[in-house]
């Protein structure tokens, strides 16, 4: 079980982790695109933390939607709308809940993926955050189905996400700015796949 106080703690943990990895994420983005991913995302999650006092004690839907809207308005680039929509859709999936179980968590991640795909029209294999998030969701869903608790399921998801990051090194980008350099993006890991894995690791660190 995760309650709404834990969710607030998780958003803070995400902001702390992204802030710590800001330079590395920016360096990854610099190799294949415009080098703003870490800076943008850190700005967005820090702004989301600043908004938390206004939603503390509220339901998951309110907290996640507020976080998503803050990300959309502060991150910019393509990651802002994509990350923002992911959090907003997760919020819709968890509307009115003040605590959730592992199955709810899986549903929220599924909704987040739906939001990212609605916005960005990418599928697996295009060298995006989805190459970490979709395998992570599959691993997590299978684990929860088999009776694992959330912490164990998330460990399996994180392992799958890391494999997804490795996979992004082997393929060329066909969505987003990195697609402009075509084959030259091969050999580099995707910044968004990396950051979304840090998000999962930050959540895991609070469990």
Q: Which residues bind ligand ADP (CB under 6 A)?
A: 29, 33-34, 36-37, 40, 77-79, 82, 116, 120-122, 128-130, 175-177, 190-193
CB of residue 170 to Mg ion, shortest distance in Å: 21
Q: Which residue, judged by CB position, is nearest to ligand ADP in the bound state?
A: 192
**CA distances in angstroms from 178 to 56, 93, 120, 149, listed in the order given:** 38, 31, 14, 37
Q: Burial letters for 27-61: b for 16+ Cβ neighbours within 10 Å, e otherwise?
A: ebbeebbebbbbbbbbbbbbbbbebbeebeebbbb
Q: Does 34 bind Mg ion (CB under 5 A)?
A: yes
Q: Does 29 bind Mg ion (CB under 5 A)?
A: yes
Contact partner at residue 120 from ligand ADP, Mg ion, none, CB < 5 to 8 Å by partner kind: ligand ADP
d(CA 51, CA 15): 12
Two tokens, residue 29: 């983005």
d(CA 165, CA 100): 28
Nearer to ligand ADP, 111 or 144 (CB): 111
CB of residue 12 to ligand ADP, shortest distance in Å: 21
Q: Does 41 bind Mg ion (CB under 5 A)?
A: no
Binding site for Mg ion (CB under 5 A): 29, 33-34, 36-37
């Amino acid at each position: 079980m995760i309650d709404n106080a834990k969710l607030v703690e998780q958003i803070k943990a995400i902001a702390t982790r992204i802030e710590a990895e800001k330079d590395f994420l920016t360096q990854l983005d610099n190799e294949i695109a415009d080098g703003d991913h870490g800076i943008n995302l850190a700005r967005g999650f820090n702004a989301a933390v600043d908004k938390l006092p206004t939603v503390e004690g509220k339901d998951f839907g309110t907290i996640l939607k507020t976080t998503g809207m803050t990300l959309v308005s502060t991150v910019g680039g393509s990651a802002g709308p994509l990350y923002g929509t992911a959090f907003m859709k997760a919020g819709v999936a968890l509307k009115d809940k003040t605590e959730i179980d592992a199955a709810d968590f899986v549903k929220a991640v599924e909704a987040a993926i739906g939001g990212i795909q609605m916005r960005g029209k990418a599928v697996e294999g295009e060298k995006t955050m989805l190459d970490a998030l979709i395998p992570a969701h599959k691993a997590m869903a299978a684990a929860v189905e088999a009776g694992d608790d959330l912490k164990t399921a998330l460990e399996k998801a994180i392992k799958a996400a890391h494999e997804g990051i490795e996979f992004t090194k082997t393929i060329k980008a066909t969505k987003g700015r990195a697609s402009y350099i075509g084959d030259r993006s091969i050999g580099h890991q995707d910044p968004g796949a990396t950051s979304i894995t840090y998000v999962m690791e930050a959540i895991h660190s609070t469990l």
